[in-house]
A and B are shown apart, each in its own frame.
Chain A
Amino acid sequence: MLTLKTSLITLVVGMIVGYLGQRSRFCTISGVRDFYLLRDPYRLKGFIGVLIGGIIGFAAVNFFGGTLQSFLHPGSIEFMPLLSDGFNMEPIILVALSLFGAFGMAYFSVMAEGCPFRQHVIAGEGRISGMFYLAGLICGVLFFDIVLVPLLQVISMF
C-alpha cells in the first residue's frame, strides 16, 4: 500500500507541476538565457522562485514536524546526488565530473531550447521535437547505464 502511495504521490505532484509549467512557460535554462540575451527576467524569476520555495518548504516541513535532510551539519558535504552510487572515485574526480556534467547539460539544453522539465511539458503540448527529445532521453539513460558507468568504473581504477 505504501509503495502505491509513493508512486501516486509522485504522479500527482508531476501533474500539478506539469500543469503549472504549461501555463507559465517555466524553464530554468531559458530563464538564464532570456536574462543574458534579452534582459527579460520573467522566467528567471521562476528559477529563483524554486530556491525561495525550497527554503520556505524546508522551514515549513521542519516546523510542522516533518523530516528533511539538511546540509548544515559537518559530514553532509560528502553527499552527491549521482544516480550511480557505485562510483568508487576520488572526491575531486567526482566534483570535476559533476561540474563538467552540469556545464554540458546547460550547454545542450540551450541548443534544445529548454531544460529537461520544459521538454516534458512541450511534449505534452503536442510538440514533435519534444517527443523526439524524450526518446533521445530514454536512449541516453540506457547508454549511460550500459556504456558510460562501466567505462567510468574502469577509468577510476587507474
Chain B
Amino acid sequence: MVEEVATKSNEKPKEKKKFKINLKDNMALITGLTMGVLAAVVQGFFDVQPPAGAGICAVSHPANLINWIVNQVFHTDYTIHSIFVTVPVLTSLGFVIGSFIAAMINKEFKIRKGPVRDNVLAFILGFMVIVFGLMWGSCPIRTAVLASYGMVFAYVVLGAIVLGVIAACEYIKWKVRR
C-alpha cells in the first residue's frame, strides 16, 4: 500500500522549475559585482588613473583626501596618488552620503551605539587599521580589483588578509573559551 502511494506520487507530472534569482539572498554578490565593474569603468572611461586599480578604495582614498586637505591648509607635501594631487577624491565622502541616503529612504537611520561597544576602542581600531592598511596601500576591495587585473602579488596579499581574519577569529575563540 505504501509502495503504491509512493509510486503514484512519483508519477505526478514534474513541474518545470523556474529560473529565478533571489535578489535578497544575493544582494552582497550584486554589490560586489557592481563595485568591480564600476571601479574599472571609472578608471577606463573617466580617467581616474594612475595608479592602477584605484577606482574604489576605502584606505587610500580617505588618506588621499586627508593629505590633500592638509597640503592645502598647511602647505605641506604629503604624498598623494598622482591623479588626485590637484583635486580632492570624494569617494569616502560618497560612501557615507550614499549609506545615509539609503538609511533615510528605508527609515533605518538612527543615532545609536555599536557595533564596537567602547567608542575609544573604535577610535583606536580605526587608527590601527589605517596605519596597517597604508603599509600595503589598499583596502581589501582594491586588493581584489588589483587581483582581477592580473596582479599576482595581490593574490598573495588576499591570502595574508584571510590569514589575518583567521588569526583574529582564533584569538576571539580562545578568549571566549578562557
Contacts and interface: CB of A to CB of B under 8 A. Distances in A.
Interface string B137-175: 111111111111111110011001111111111001000
Contacts of B98: 14-22, 124
A68 B45 CA distance: 9
A83 to B, nearest CB: 5
A81 B112 contact: no
B136 A98 contact: yes
Interface string B26-65: 1111111111111111111111111111111011111110
A42 B123 CA distance: 28
Given A10-B61, A110-B165, A116-B59, A128 B129 contact: no
A36 B137 contact: no
Interface in B101-127: 101-103, 106, 108-120, 122-127
Given A45-B28, A110-B169, A81 B137 contact: yes
Interface residues of A, number: 119
B160 to A, nearest CB: 4
Interface size class of B (residues with CB under 8 A): 35 or more
Interface in A48-81: 48-58, 60-62, 64, 66-72, 76-77, 79-81
A109 to B, nearest CB: 6
Given A20-B31, A36-B169, A70-B150, A6 B46 contact: yes
Contacts of A101: 132-137
Nearest to A147: B131
Contacts of B56: 13-14, 17
Given A11-B90, A15-B101, A69-B49, A121 B95 contact: yes
B129 A109 contact: yes
B131 to A, nearest CB: 5
Contact of A129 (B32, B114, B147): B114
B148 A51 contact: yes
A99 B45 CA distance: 31
Ranked nearest first, the 5 interchain pairs of A and B with the lowest CB-CB distance are A14-B94, A53-B36, A49-B32, A18-B98, A57-B40
Given A32-B161, A71-B149, 6 more contacts: A17-B95, A57-B36, A61-B44, A106-B162, A115-B141, A130-B122
